[in-house]
Structure 1
Amino acid sequence: MNDTLVPVGGRSAWLGSTLDYRQDGLWQLSAAELTEIDAALTTLKDRGDLDLTEITADTFPLPTVGRLLSRLRDELWSGRGFVLIRGLSRERYTDDDLARIYCGLGAHLGDIIPQSGNGEILGHVLNVADLVDEQVRGYRSAQAMNMHSDGHDVVSLLCLREAKAGGASRIASAAAVHDRMVETNPDLARVLYEGMPVMRSRMDAERGDGKIVTSDNVALFATTDGVFSSCIHVAQTRDAARAGHFDITPEQEAALDTFCELSASPEFYLDMNIAPGDIQFLNNRLIVHGRTPYQDHEDVNRRRHLMRLWVNIPSWPRRPDNQQDIYSMADLPRWARFRTPFMEMPERYMAQVTAMQ
């Protein structure tokens, strides 16, 4: 790493206190775009009951909406790093048809990839903490979630149902946090450039490359050929330290604390209310995200429910080497072996969850 730290600057280093996402990041689908999406869904269903993995740019044709998605890729890569697309009718489509549309849009954006050792390509963000005996991951509860990155290039959420109250999507620019640390405490910024080990879930590791903890340090900040990239997994780094995989130093603790404090401060974060039918896209290399706590309905079929995609963008450069250990491309085909056809279809998924309740 060069001893001289350079601010990222530009549109990607924004402060949440200065932005209104309804002006700076909300894209409204036009009537013509909605008509084309509807026609693509009809074309897809005319082919029969295809699994989500069979939804491609060919089976879900979007000859002109593709221009919108090209703009989206550019905005995620070199712009603000986030976009909220609005306009899909929640009343017009069933949950399963919205899942098909969502995967169709994702297939035009890039490569939809598995999200865990279960092999699912469509995740469900739903509070089931009171329905199961074991401890669940944060996104499957109603609790607040701290700022973090997800895997690979882009994470996306489509809202099916809102919470009774709360549950805003909280995002911040990792580039802006980086720049503030470079300005006020460059020594701690250098600690994040050096990185630390990250601990993965046991299932993801065992069904993937077998590594519970990354072999090398994962850089939270990296700059390659002038391109900034963040990789923020604070909780999993602290898990690795607690499990004895490395001895965390006071400087490393201070650097992690500083990043967390800045990204969770009102100056830096931006809260987005994702309404039913909205789709949020985030560049995992520029944006960290979390969630405010929320109150939910007792009936699981009325609870806050979002669908999630992970998308790799083939046209983007790969991550720096010191950020790739946690995102092994070799994991993806291994995880995919555990997927069963149609397992993520929301109506099937909700029938299973309802039976649990």
Structure 2
Amino acid sequence: MTDLAHLTPVGGRTAWLGSTFNYRDDGLWQLSADELADIDRALTALKSRGDLDLVDITPEVFPLRTIGGLITRLREELWAGRGFVLIRGLDRDAYSDDDLARIYCGLGVHLGEIIPQSGNGEILGHVMNVADRVGGPVRGYRTAQSMNMHSDGHDVVSLLCLREAKTGGASRIASAAAVHDRMLEMDPELTRVLYQGMPIMRSAHDAERGDGRIVTAGDVALFAKPDGKFASCVHVAQTRDAARAGYFDVTPQQEAALDLFCELSASPEFYLDMNIAPGDIQFLNNRLIVHGRTPYEDHEEIERRRHLLRLWVNVPTWPRRAPNQQDIYSMDDLPHWAQHRRPFMEMPTRYLAGIG
């Protein structure tokens, strides 16, 4: 059990308030002409090898010579700085959708290890509203609805914008460390509850195609400080799903702790809304940042709709999560999920053709 006497604020640049700064001044990185030329050369080198699948892109086949320093700085800022970066400068009109996917994966493999995102095995996700084009229920990122604050799996989640919405659809992010510090100030006991954690329910599809566990074996800590380094793991909706399904009895104190986290992270004092323009690439550290989305209005034509590509990246040089935050992110899932991937399935042209 976490001792209240050992709970201390995180502080520093990691615990930022969205209301206190402009991300365009502190968080937006503009690619230089040399860095853009380096990316273009790497794409040319990659395509000279023929039509390689995205899983075959490696640092060797997508060689970067100039931009390596930026990748190193990005990794450091995500780990020990604000926990987010928006990279701007790619000319959206200079590349096809498929070439942008190749560039995106090429940058991703220099940052770390690109991993599957679901039981379908996809390494490149498509975030767009297709709820009216596919049968049955769909996950929130495949609708135009708002999304509540949460974390994604593993180390880094990233988005590259191909097309913007007609209106709305801002990326909303907040520092989980800042929320932690305010909760500690307001109610240390409720903060302690989140250090203890609760079970999390996974999607049946991902569980069946992974290690088979629909609910985590133990409690997953929303807050942890392994070796003194703060890390969050926020899946409030899935925790409440587990309680509704009868996997555990949520206590009034646990509900109050979840409510307070949600209230603070969704307040204008804490969050900032980031407009990701075509060609922009956003990177978030899942241990430090929670993210959501504002609702949006889309175009009717599928080829004009808001369309973002998504990567999940593990960074091998980062320490692994604390044991009480690893249960939901089972590394055992990944090879099982990968077996369900089909070659070239994530290429944007192929993806759109499949739902158009």
Q: Same fold (TM over 0.5)?
A: yes
Does 2:237 match 1:235?
A: yes
Question: 3-state DSSP class of the match of 1:24?
Answer: coil
Question: 3-state DSSP class of the match of 2:106?
Answer: helix
In the other structure, the counterpart of 1:161 is: 163
Partner Cα separation in structure 2 for residue 3 and residue 178 of structure 1: 13
Question: 3-state DSSP class of the match of 1:309?
Answer: strand
In the other structure, the counterpart of 1:55 is: 57
In the other structure, the counterpart of 1:348 is: 350
In the other structure, the counterpart of 1:331 is: 333
In the other structure, the counterpart of 1:33 is: 35
Partner Cα separation in structure 1 for residue 199 and residue 184 of structure 2: 22
In the other structure, the counterpart of 2:4 is: 3
In the other structure, the counterpart of 1:280 is: 282
AA aligned opposite 2:128: L
Describe the superposition over 1:223-254 as per-residue Cα deviations: whole angstroms up to 9, x where unpaired.
Answer: 11110000000000000000000000000000
In the other structure, the counterpart of 1:15 is: 17
Structure 1 counterpart of 2:142, from 140, 143, 150: 140
In the other structure, the counterpart of 1:316 is: 318
RMSD: 0.5
Does 2:103 match 1:101?
A: yes
Unaligned runs of 5+ in 2: none
Question: 3-state DSSP class of the match of 1:22?
Answer: coil
AA aligned opposite 2:267: S
How many residues of Structure 1 are paired with residues of Structure 2 in the alignment? 354
Instruction: Give the alignment's TM-score, normalised by structure 1.
Output: 0.99
Instruction: Give the alignment's TM-score, normalised by structure 2.
Output: 0.99
AA aligned opposite 1:17: S
In the other structure, the counterpart of 1:212 is: 214
Are the counterparts in 1 of residues 4 and 189 from structure 2 also a CA contact under 8 Å? no
Q: CA deviation at 1:3?
A: 2.7
Partner Cα separation in structure 2 for residue 84 and residue 160 of structure 1: 15
Question: 3-state DSSP class of the match of 2:92?
Answer: coil
In the other structure, the counterpart of 1:85 is: 87
Identity of aligned residues (%): 77
Q: CA deviation at 1:64?
A: 2.0
Question: 3-state DSSP class of the match of 1:225?
Answer: helix
Question: 3-state DSSP class of the match of 2:202?
Answer: coil
AA aligned opposite 2:239: T
Partner Cα separation in structure 2 for residue 19 and residue 286 of structure 1: 17
**Residue correspondence of structure 1 range 251-290 to structure 2 within 5 A:** 251-290=253-292
Partner Cα separation in structure 2 for residue 103 and residue 336 of structure 1: 16
Partner Cα separation in structure 2 for residue 133 and residue 220 of structure 1: 34
Structure 1 counterpart of 2:179, from 171, 177, 180: 177
Does 2:203 match 1:201?
A: yes
Q: CA deviation at 1:2?
A: 3.6
Describe the superposition over 1:7-61 as per-residue Cα deviations: whole angstroms up to 9, x where unpaired.
Answer: 0000000000002110010000000000000000000000000000010100000
Describe the superposition over 1:86-113 as per-residue Cα deviations: whole angstroms up to 9, x where unpaired.
Answer: 0001100000000000000000000000
Q: CA deviation at 1:63?
A: 1.8
Partner Cα separation in structure 1 for residue 98 and residue 236 of structure 2: 35
Unaligned runs of 5+ in 1: none
